[in-house]
Amino acid sequence: MAALYYPEVFDVSGLDHAKQIILTEEGPGADTETRWARETPYVMELLGGAFPLRADLLVLDYGCGIGRIAKAMIEASGCSVIGVDISASMRKLAGDYVGSDRFTAVSPDQFDVLVAAGLRVQAAIAVWVLQHCFAPAADIARIAGGLAAGGVGFVLNMPKRAVPAVVEETAEYRKFIWAQDQTDVAALLRGSFDVTAEGVPDTTRTPNMADAGAYWMNFRRRAG
């Protein structure tokens, strides 16, 4: 069978399962819990270079999962965060994990309705998300459409695509892979935003990921 997009991989049974999907085990010293503890504060440092967190800021966390970074941002500054995620089970877990009335999680379609009604955010982040999106150009357009004039953002991403796909399935068996295509997400970001800074993450603080060519990018919404 041809490879079929398989977003159900992000449907999770509980918190531990969600963590394992959000931050996969990448080998010795890069298990899920180690990555969670070491990488989360580092991501906070990186996104701090894109925009200052403050209590009156509304941030879009695109691909929020269970709210790993949303929780850290709210605890650090008292900002408000709207998370967007395709997984209903992740969104359900996120409310309890973040544990703040300054956070809400919605589906992409729900976010589109809010934007059509006039919602705009001042800042946006997408951490280890766009590499997995089936149609990243559409997701980047959604982020841009939700940003206020002069809005800013931060992306942390892998250079290679890793799209969830089923390549073989029977009644008893399903073969799943992280498929690659030729989409250049960094080029899409540069074509959609004004990039204000970019670089590669510290290899000691993003175990195994920086070694594989991960990059971060700060951007600003273009005028007009």
pLDDT, tens digit (0-9, with 9 covering 90-100), for 95-127: 999 999 999 999 999 999 999 999 999 999 999
Position 211 confidence tier, pLDDT thresholds 50, 70, 90: low
Picking from 184, 206, 145, the residue whose alpha carbon sits closest to that of residue 23 is 206
User: Which residues fall within 8 angstroms of residue 75, CB to CB, at 6 or more apart?
Assistant: none
Average pLDDT score over residue span 23-43: 87
Q: Percentage of residues in the chain with pLDDT exceeding 70?
A: 97
Q: Beta strand 147-157 with 80-84: parallel, antiparallel or unpaired?
A: unpaired
Position 88 confidence tier, pLDDT thresholds 50, 70, 90: very high
CB 193 within 8 A of CB 220: yes
Q: Which runs of E-coded beta strand occur in the chain? A: 4-5, 58-62, 80-84, 103-106, 121-127, 147-157, 163-169, 174-179, 193-199, 215-221
Cα separation, 61 vs 67, whole angstroms: 8
**pLDDT on residue 104:** 98
Average pLDDT score over residue span 200-217: 83
Q: Percentage of residues in the chain with pLDDT exceeding 90?
A: 82
**pLDDT on residue 168:** 79
Bridge partners, 147 (sequence order): 121
* Angle at which helices 136-146 and 185-192 cross, to 10°: 30
**pLDDT on residue 169:** 74
Count how many Cα atoms sit within 13 Å of the Cα of residue 200 in the half-sphere of its side chain.
11
146 membership: H or E segment, kind and range = helix 136-146
Mean pLDDT, the chain, whole residue set: 93
Q: 28 pLDDT exceeds 90?
A: no
Q: 80 pLDDT exceeds 70?
A: yes
Q: 210 pLDDT exceeds 70?
A: no
For residue 215, the one-letter residue type is: Y
Position 1 confidence tier, pLDDT thresholds 50, 70, 90: low
Cα separation, 105 vs 88, whole angstroms: 9
For residues 114 and 159, the model is more confident at: 114
| pLDDT tens profile 128-155 | 999 999 999 999 999 999 999 999 999 9
Q: 218 pLDDT exceeds 70?
A: yes
**pLDDT on residue 126:** 98
Q: Is 213 exposed, middle or buried (0-12, 13-18, 19+ CB in 10 A)?
A: exposed
User: Which residues fall within 8 angstroms of residue 116, CB to CB, at 6 or more apart?
Assistant: none
- CATH number 3.40.50.150 is the correct assignment for the domain at 24-160+184-221: yes
Q: 179 pLDDT exceeds 60?
A: yes
Phi, psi values for residue 165, rounded to 5°: -150, 145
**pLDDT on residue 204:** 84
Q: 206 pLDDT exceeds 90?
A: no
Phi, psi values for residue 172, rounded to 5°: -110, -5
